[in-house]
Structure 1
Amino acid sequence: MISNRSFYTVIGLCIVTYLVGMVMIPLMDIDASQYASISREMMENRSYLQVFDLGMDYIDKPPMLFWLSSLSMRVFGVHDWAYRIPSFLFALLAVYATYRLALLFYRREIAQLSAMVLASCQALFLITHDVRCDTMLLGWVALSLWQMAAWYQTNKWKHFCIAFIAIACGMMTKGPIALMVPAFAFVPHFVLRREWKQLFRWEYIAGLAIIAVMLLPMSIGLYQQFDLHPGKIASGVKIDSGLRFYYWTQSFGRYTGENTYNELNYFTFLLENMLWSFLPWIVFFLLGLVFAVRELVLKKFKLNAGEEWFSAGGFIITYCILARSQAQLPHYIFVVFPLAAIITAKFLFRLFFTGELAAWKKPLSVFHTVVFALLWLVCIFLMAWPFKVPVFVPVLAALCLVAFFVILFSKNIVLPKILPLAFFTVIGVNVFLGTGFYPNVLKYQLGNDAAAFMKQRSIEKERVKIYGIYEGRALHFYAQHIFPKVYSREELGPADMVITLKDSLPSLRTSFPTLKVLHEGGNFGVTSLSLPFLDPAKRDAEVPKYVLLEL
């Protein structure tokens, strides 16, 4: 079926691709660079219970990511890859926990497929370099699901304790969603199996006590920073109680209207973004989910002992809850990708390793072969056209397309053809993106470009101020310095250096006629790529410019 050699090769290649992105791709503004900057500031100030962003109170996210990333940077130094190490390890934990969770209910091949699907979906390649709280949350939630399922099967207290510790740590990573997902997964599972007693076990009280104890350090920090000083402004919001904001407003306030942030709040938003984030498995997943629901209906909504519904039920309920939020972002749904991977693996096993779905095999194989070939053509285009890269890079990408067709027509492939084609495509394309595309795009980001110039020229960072420009957080992280902002020319003096928009030069020259332009660079929001930006002939007009001035 699936040899250990094939399994470990795929997982190993995915890990190598994660590492390529971690080392080669600079941090992107806004979120990843902000969290890295906060982590560096926490490490430098040794303020672990109270969180600050450029010296200002911060409350938007719980502190677990900052705690672990600051610890990593204390050990390895202030580097973007050091910031990413803890989240990378939690991504690996998510893959392993998904394998072990699937193995509790299914044969080894389905467990292997579950791990390979999760490890090779586009989201994992993205969030191991564009690190946000969701990478770490993914690991905690997958661990809690695995350990809860193991506890239900064995009644061993070690599984119970690990599960609730993982839930608490997930809550300290991104809030109550870490508690909600296991509930959304196992409640319908037990209802459909008519195991009512599992819903009312006294041990849950002990589990809640574990969570309460684990949350104490964070809760104390919130109380000290905000509840003792009501009325503070954090991220533009007045905070009267840090505890209420964290435990209620930030999560449930998205449904009650107390959280005023409102963006991208239509029901299909998350599903539309899964079309890219769960590549190359999204079609298999959607069909697997439809088949799972259909079979449940045929069974009259009753499962036998040994059957599970936590994967499909957990995904569906979590999706519906998240999709009702008044504020959504594409990565919010990543938390249930372990469940999506199990649903997908079950469908792939039935499609390729049994004769149950024979009629679906050829059309799905043909469709995905065309899609994967198109992805390779897009990759070749991205290597050859937008940026100046060594000529061997697009040639190598073209050779990979040739290798794709060699695999397609080979008689010696042990696995069903579409699986090695999928792994080869998603891994190969991400290697090229991580080495030849993203690093070139990020040359047009102000923060890392300006920090690199200041380091190269040994600029006195204490002289540098920010004026009339949004600089992002990458600048403060890579320069390892918090640059003050000024809001009028009267706050500047002839001894200062200034980072500002190039358009501000004429007005500044009226006050400082002898100013000198030390450096000019791009100030492009790299997470909002556009075709004009990719076009070398139009890029210069598309990219706003910043300058570093000596007044």
Structure 2
Amino acid sequence: METLVLKKDYIVLYVLLGIVYLSGMYLPLMENDSAQHAVMAMRMFLENDFLHLYKGDALYLDKPHMHFWLAAISFKIFGISHWAYRLPAIFFTIIGAISCNRLSKIFYGNEAAHIASLVFLSSQAIVLANHDVRTDAVLTGATIFAVWQLVLFVNKVQLVHGILGGIGLGIAFSSKGQLAVFVAGICVLSHIFYTRKWNVIVQWKTIVSALFFVIAISPVLYAYYIQFDLHPENVVNGKTNVSGLRFILWDQSVHRLTANGFKETSPDYFFFFHTLLWAFLPWSLIAYIALYQRCKQLVRIRFRYERNTEMLTSIGVLVVLIVISFSKFKLPHYLNSLLPILSVLVAGFLLDLYNKHRRKLINGLLFFQIGVLILGSVLLLFLIFWIFPIPHVGLMLCYLLLIVGGIIIMTISINKMRKLIVVSVYFMILINFCLNTQFYPNLLLYQAGNNAAKIIDREKINPEKVFMGEGRPSWSLDFYTQRITPGISLKRIKNTLHHHDWLFVYQHQLNELKEQQLVWDKKYEINHHRITRLTKKFLNPNTRHTVLEKAFLLRIKKE
């Protein structure tokens, strides 16, 4: 029987995926979260203070420290840049891909291993998480690493796997809190239930594993204790006597479930189920079919253990999805830590279809994937080139070569399952390469902060003489001037700024300055839009001007 995915297939696809991820590393950072997190990490580095987290001038009590520590360490080694900020995310994504590979090999053998890695790396939300970097890339990589090691620990009861699993889970917890513990815990418990290896729970080695988890999270606990518990006088969200330890160990997760202290985002109990349709592109339909088939199989065999069958990636994932669906505070990236686990499920399912010669279903899936991906690619390419100007001829040549490559892959005579996998990964490479090299670079021309920083650099303006209007921070301006730009009350601005100081403001703030008869002798006007919240009017080049906001860089003149 022909090998499902040839070595030359996955080597070429890994290289092309690497190019896609590399192209995303050099994009300017997007506001709000990505640029905000980068500035928070930059502040740690500049002030050499790794214990306190601030969002502007306010104490920050939300995400724990790991993501910011890793970015700050990267700045310390490589200097402040957007690619250095993204480097830890790339590193943990590679760890995630390796963990998918190894976990899939445990459950389904060598042939499924690289399929799982390719599914994971080509998933839309994972690609997005590596250029719009928040806490999720570190969380995702550390979570699947922990699951892989803990599965090995359950299977072999070897201390090294328990220790590595505890450390991995500790890093994941230190990135986003209890979500990682819940995801990994439910999935590993489902594996224990299916394999009936309950004795592992009472092993002394399990206690050691738990101890290493506690050791791994202790730096974050210590930092919270120093910043909050030692200072009950601090005001956080209008309250005093706020415990950082209680927050990270309990309040963060419970409050998000109940929307206590958070604005309720969606009452839709199916939010995560339909969000998965785009987050796990192009594998979402296959994942749902695989999830249904695996659950059906487990019920049919009454959860009796069978070789090459597992319930970690099906029942485990389903339980997590159902529980988080009852949360009143929902965001799409909460799904990210489940995607590598679903990648293992998809790899096992595709291999099973291939081994059982399920030609009808394979042909149907191939037809669907090719149809959707071609239609989506054509539509996306049309939109990209309609929304923004035609790119450089060199880029056009790259796009043309990728399109020709896709046509060749679809027409060559290879087995249908191999074609399904290669076509699916390849078209996500085409789509995301175009997004990273054409769509996002043009989109970021409408983010005022980073473009104001370009002007400051080009005109050789001293960043120490730049200020911004209070009440509306620009994280990208801070990051690209490598300085926490002071915010100034517009009502006291005449008494605060000096001759030839510079002020960054938005249109509504400029109107207020005019009322105060503030005078300036130089003005740079910059187009601005909230680029993470796109609208039809903005995307349409004919109506874009109607929704653009203006930002200004002013040189103050005083008599």
TM-score range, shorter chain: over 0.9
**1:145-172 CA distances to partner (integer Å, 9 max, x unpaired)?**
1111112222221111111011111111
Amino acid at match of 2:285: V
Out of 340, 343, 349, the residue aligned to residue 341 of structure 1 is 343
Question: What does residue 390 of structure 1 align with?
Answer: 391
> Cα 1:414–1:298, aligned 2, differ >3 Å: closer, same or farther?
closer
CA distance in 1, matches of 2:533, 2:217: 37
Q: How does 1:240-255 map to 2 (within 5 A)?
A: 240-255=242-257
Query: Is 2:533 the partner of 1:532?
Result: no
Amino acid at match of 2:75: M
SS in 1 for 2:61: coil
How far 1:99 moved relative to its partner? Answer: 0.5
CA distance in 2, matches of 1:469, 1:374: 44
> Cα 1:256–1:371, aligned 2, differ >3 Å: closer, same or farther?
closer
> Cα 1:377–1:469, aligned 2, differ >3 Å: closer, same or farther?
farther
Contact 2:295 2:315 in 1 (8 A): no
Question: What does residue 315 of structure 2 align with?
Answer: 313
Q: How many residues in Structure 1 have an aligned counterpart in Structure 2?
A: 549
TM-score with structure 2 setting the length = 0.93
How far 1:373 moved relative to its partner? Answer: 0.9
Question: What does residue 462 of structure 1 align with?
Answer: 464
Out of 188, 209, 212, the residue aligned to residue 211 of structure 2 is 209
How far 1:215 moved relative to its partner? Answer: 2.3
Contact 2:232 2:241 in 1 (8 A): yes
> Cα 1:437–1:257, aligned 2, differ >3 Å: closer, same or farther?
closer
Question: What does residue 175 of structure 1 align with?
Answer: 177
SS in 2 for 1:230: coil
Q: How does 1:136-155 map to 2 (within 5 A)?
A: 136-155=138-157
Question: What does residue 102 of structure 1 align with?
Answer: 104
> Cα 1:192–1:396, aligned 2, differ >3 Å: closer, same or farther?
closer
CA distance in 2, matches of 1:52, 1:468: 16
CA distance in 2, matches of 1:283, 1:395: 32
TM-score with structure 1 setting the length = 0.94
**1:452-500 CA distances to partner (integer Å, 9 max, x unpaired)?**
1111112232332222662331111111111122233333345342211
Question: What does residue 220 of structure 2 align with?
Answer: 218
How far 1:541 moved relative to its partner? Answer: 1.3
Question: What does residue 441 of structure 1 align with?
Answer: 443
Question: What does residue 296 of structure 1 align with?
Answer: 298
Query: Is 2:547 the partner of 1:542?
Result: yes
Question: What does residue 500 of structure 1 align with?
Answer: 505
Question: What does residue 8 of structure 1 align with?
Answer: 11
How far 1:280 moved relative to its partner? Answer: 0.8
Structure 1 residue runs of 5 or longer lacking an equivalent are none
SS in 1 for 2:467: strand
How far 1:211 moved relative to its partner? Answer: 2.0
SS in 1 for 2:418: coil
Question: What does residue 472 of structure 1 align with?
Answer: 474
CA distance in 2, matches of 1:504, 1:179: 45
How far 1:185 moved relative to its partner? Answer: 0.7
Contact 2:259 2:327 in 1 (8 A): no
How far 1:517 moved relative to its partner? Answer: 4.4
Contact 2:65 2:174 in 1 (8 A): yes
SS in 1 for 2:304: coil
Question: What does residue 48 of structure 1 align with?
Answer: 50
Contact 2:42 2:75 in 1 (8 A): yes
How far 1:232 moved relative to its partner? Answer: 2.2
Query: Is 2:73 the partner of 1:71?
Result: yes
Question: What does residue 59 of structure 2 align with?
Answer: 57
Amino acid at match of 1:217: P
CA distance in 2, matches of 1:123, 1:229: 39
SS in 1 for 2:183: helix
Equivalent pairs: percent with the same residue? 28
Amino acid at match of 2:545: D
**RMSD across aligned positions (CA):** 2.2
SS in 2 for 1:340: helix
**1:30-58 CA distances to partner (integer Å, 9 max, x unpaired)?**
11111110110000111112222334322
How far 1:259 moved relative to its partner? Answer: 4.1
Higher mean C-alpha displacement, 81-90 vs 382-391: 382-391
CA distance in 1, matches of 2:313, 2:226: 40
Question: What does residue 364 of structure 2 align with?
Answer: 363
How far 1:209 moved relative to its partner? Answer: 1.9
Structure 2 residue runs of 5 or longer lacking an equivalent are none
Question: What does residue 511 of structure 1 align with?
Answer: 516
Amino acid at match of 2:445: K
Question: What does residue 379 of structure 1 align with?
Answer: 380
Contact 1:38 1:66 in 2 (8 A): yes
Higher mean C-alpha displacement, 301-310 vs 224-233: 301-310
> Cα 1:200–1:282, aligned 2, differ >3 Å: closer, same or farther?
same
Higher mean C-alpha displacement, 92-101 vs 523-532: 523-532
SS in 2 for 1:417: helix
Contact 1:35 1:132 in 2 (8 A): yes
**1:53-82 CA distances to partner (integer Å, 9 max, x unpaired)?**
334322211111111111111111100000
Amino acid at match of 2:530: G
> Cα 1:265–1:395, aligned 2, differ >3 Å: closer, same or farther?
farther
Contact 1:91 1:136 in 2 (8 A): yes
**1:388-426 CA distances to partner (integer Å, 9 max, x unpaired)?**
233635575466445433322223679632222212210
**1:522-546 CA distances to partner (integer Å, 9 max, x unpaired)?**
2211111122112212111111111
How far 1:440 moved relative to its partner? Answer: 0.5
Contact 2:478 2:484 in 1 (8 A): yes
Contact 2:166 2:216 in 1 (8 A): no
How far 1:187 moved relative to its partner? Answer: 1.6
Higher mean C-alpha displacement, 399-408 vs 215-224: 399-408
CA distance in 2, matches of 1:94, 1:235: 35
Contact 1:461 1:481 in 2 (8 A): yes
Out of 311, 322, 325, the residue aligned to residue 324 of structure 2 is 322
SS in 2 for 1:250: helix
CA distance in 2, matches of 1:235, 1:17: 40
